[in-house]
Structure 1
Amino acid sequence: MDIFLYTFFNIIFPIFITIFAGYAFRSRFPIDVRSLVKIQLYLLLPALLFVKVYESELSGEILTSVTLSIAFVMTVIYVLSFVIARLRGYSSEDTSVFINSNTFYNAANLSLPLMNLLYTNPIAVSIQAIIIIVHNIAFFTIGMFTVGNSSGNLRRAISSIFKMPFIYVMITGIIFKRLNMTIWDPIWQSISLLTTTYTGVALLTLGAQLRETNFSFGNMRIYLSNIIRLLLAPSIAFAVVTVMGIEGIVAQVIVIAMGAPTAVNVALMAIEFDNRPEFASQAVLTSTVLSAVTLTLIIIFVQVAMPI
């Protein structure tokens, strides 16, 4: 119990205090949450990904193992969710949201600040940056295709994929790094300022988004989604890293990252395509609240099972 309380109050609780601050602020002031999301999506997150890719000293072996393991776990969750939805007779709209709620997780808004608090070794944040890239590529391709196809907006979903700036930023960062190009100092300082802003804005925005979420205790599909997202996904991740022989801090970050709650973007995309937005929003809200406990347990588990 002592280690649980220590982990909760020193790692998880500070994050949720900031999230609650965003929730309370949105309750008091009529802020435009969509604008905050766009600032993150089109400015802060691309800046962060560019810096992490440009500065990354991860070996090719680590990059490959992280990418393959994350992609494999997400694929398993995607297929498993599809099978469960079919067996339970969900409609095509419910199936798409159920799949996305289980497969796509909060890799940036919550997980990145978590890694910053949890590890002093900068390699943890670099690994999480790679996870963000893999996750976002999957979400803004497969995830958007899934929700767009089920709601009859397939062409719109495909066109939206190529409007996401992170893809081009990531490619630019790789090119700059490979060619060993030097970035003019004023520009680099400006980009660095944006990266330091990201964590606080991301958590506050998450709280504000949750404030706008409607919740119903009667939807049992939400709880099934929470079990898959918060418990089954990290369990599969643990099995995968064990089989692949991934150890230490790399293995810990992968397992913890896969235990993150449902991504807020899942709800935003459902709202955008008018595809079961209530279901998606409730999945985000419940998984985020429950993750305060489950992430604490996962952190304790990985520190015991996969010591650095």
Structure 2
Amino acid sequence: MDIFMHILWNNVLPLSIIIGLGILLHRIFNLDILTLSKLNFYLFSPAIMFELLYGTAISLQLFGQVLLFFIVFMLAQYALLEVVVRLRKYDGGKRAAMRNSVLFYNSANYGIPINQLAFAGNAYTLSVQIIIMMMQSLVPNTYGIYSVNAHKANWREIRKVILSMPVIYVIPIAFLLRGYHVPLPGFLTISIGYLSNAFIGTALFTLGVQLGTMKGTISRKLALDVGIASALRLLVGPLLAWGVVLLLDLHGMMAAALIVSSAVPTSLSSVLLAVEFDNERDFASQTVLVTTALSIVTVTGVIYLLRA
């Protein structure tokens, strides 16, 4: 019960309040969601990624093990999704939205607090989560952009969009600066900190604005698809992660941290991609909302089982 209440009060409720403010203010002022989306993609997301990678010590061995897990886990999810999208006979846009809603999970503003809760602020497990977060930032800004545009644009146009994403440059720069112990000027550190702190609130607010654009209830067909995506993300995800951990013979705190990292709800990146490139906005928004609400039960269950 303590874990349940902690997740409710410290994760789900704060997220819900900011999402609710986005809905309310959009209904009052009719806010420009595309501007909010661009702020997230081009400013706040790169800032938080740089700050965490530059400020965290990560060994090469740890990085390699977590990266191997991530690759195998993503391939396993992708293979399962291929079965689902073929059985459901989704078109190009819906196929991409379903993949993004399952493959991209909230490893930053949900995953890091949950990691801190589950492992009592352990620095080792936090490093594991930061690597996962790095990959979960890189993949949506590369594969994610490709997937939502592949059915309606040529490769040259898609490549141009991908190469315009700052986060793909921020990651190697942060590693190089940390690796060579290059200090940042104080004024730059402060500026990056301000931008980094703005990411979570702006991303959640953007989700609220998108939800505020919806009129009426979702259709039965959309509800079923949201339910499928939610089950794949919250239930199947941790099971696949457990299988990959066994396959790679990972143990102890690393294994537990990787399984917990896989149990979190759908990432806000799926909504930002849907908004930025006008691809199944309602489905993406509803999936983030539903998985975030249900995660209070599913994530608590995963943490409980790992402690048992």
Task: Give me the TM-score of the superposition, normalised by structure 1.
Answer: 0.84
- Distance in 2 separating the partners of 1:284 and 1:93: 17
Structure 1 segment 173-192 matched on structure 2, within 5 A? 173-192=174-193
Q: Is the 8 A contact 1:70 1:131 kept in 2?
A: yes
Q: Indicate whether 1:286 and 2:259 are aligned.
A: no
When residues 3 and 189 of structure 1 are mapped into structure 2, their CA distance, relative to the original with a 3 A threshold, is closer
- Post-superposition shift, 1:222? 1.9
When residues 41 and 95 of structure 1 are mapped into structure 2, their CA distance, relative to the original with a 3 A threshold, is closer
Q: Is the 8 A contact 1:234 1:259 kept in 2?
A: yes
When residues 11 and 144 of structure 1 are mapped into structure 2, their CA distance, relative to the original with a 3 A threshold, is closer
Q: Tell me the C-alpha RMSD between the 2 structures.
A: 2.8
- Distance in 2 separating the partners of 1:103 and 1:133: 14
Q: What residue identity is the alignment partner of 2:286?
A: Q
- Post-superposition shift, 1:161? 0.9
When residues 217 and 249 of structure 1 are mapped into structure 2, their CA distance, relative to the original with a 3 A threshold, is farther
Match of 2:64 in 1: 64
Q: Indicate whether 1:104 and 2:108 are aligned.
A: no
Q: What residue identity is the alignment partner of 1:291?
A: S
- Distance in 1 separating the partners of 2:194 and 2:178: 20
Structure 1 segment 293-304 matched on structure 2, within 5 A? 293-302=297-306, 304=307
Q: Indicate whether 1:254 and 2:255 are aligned.
A: no
- Distance in 2 separating the partners of 1:113 and 1:26: 28
- Post-superposition shift, 1:29? 4.2
Q: Indicate whether 1:238 and 2:255 are aligned.
A: no
Q: 1:102-140 CA distances to partner (integer Å, 9 max, x unpaired)?
A: 212223343345445654334444433321221222222
Q: Which deviates more, 172-181 or 288-297? A: 288-297
Q: Is the 8 A contact 1:49 1:166 kept in 2?
A: yes
Q: Which deviates more, 5-14 or 260-269? A: 5-14
Match of 2:231 in 1: 227
- Distance in 2 separating the partners of 1:34 and 1:272: 6
- Distance in 1 separating the partners of 2:17 and 2:79: 35
Match of 1:130 in 2: 131
When residues 36 and 301 of structure 1 are mapped into structure 2, their CA distance, relative to the original with a 3 A threshold, is farther
Q: Secondary structure at the match of 1:224?
A: helix
Q: Which deviates more, 283-292 or 42-51? A: 283-292
When residues 246 and 24 of structure 1 are mapped into structure 2, their CA distance, relative to the original with a 3 A threshold, is farther
- Tell me the percent identity: 32
- Post-superposition shift, 1:81? 0.7
Q: Is the 8 A contact 2:226 2:286 kept in 1?
A: yes
Q: 1:279-302 CA distances to partner (integer Å, 9 max, x unpaired)?
A: 333333322332233223223333
Match of 1:208 in 2: 209
When residues 46 and 236 of structure 1 are mapped into structure 2, their CA distance, relative to the original with a 3 A threshold, is same
Q: Is the 8 A contact 1:7 1:300 kept in 2?
A: no
Q: Is the 8 A contact 2:93 2:148 kept in 1?
A: yes
- Distance in 2 separating the partners of 1:195 and 1:48: 4
Match of 1:42 in 2: 42
Q: What residue identity is the alignment partner of 1:227?
A: A
- Post-superposition shift, 1:21? 4.1
- Post-superposition shift, 1:159? 1.5
Q: Is the 8 A contact 2:105 2:264 kept in 1?
A: yes
Match of 1:163 in 2: 164
Match of 1:143 in 2: 144
Q: 1:173-193 CA distances to partner (integer Å, 9 max, x unpaired)?
A: 111122221222222233233
Q: 1:6-37 CA distances to partner (integer Å, 9 max, x unpaired)?
A: 54345544443444344444444443333333
Q: Is the 8 A contact 1:256 1:298 kept in 2?
A: yes
When residues 209 and 245 of structure 1 are mapped into structure 2, their CA distance, relative to the original with a 3 A threshold, is farther
Q: What residue identity is the alignment partner of 1:74?
A: M
Match of 2:85 in 1: 85
Q: Is the 8 A contact 1:151 1:275 kept in 2?
A: no
Task: Give me the TM-score of the superposition, normalised by structure 2.
Answer: 0.84
When residues 93 and 44 of structure 1 are mapped into structure 2, their CA distance, relative to the original with a 3 A threshold, is closer
Q: Secondary structure at the match of 1:183?
A: coil
- Distance in 2 separating the partners of 1:125 and 1:274: 34
Gaps of 5+ in 1: none
Q: Secondary structure at the match of 1:150?
A: coil
Q: Secondary structure at the match of 2:220?
A: coil
Q: Is the 8 A contact 1:11 1:117 kept in 2?
A: no
Gaps of 5+ in 2: none
Q: What residue identity is the alignment partner of 2:209?
A: A
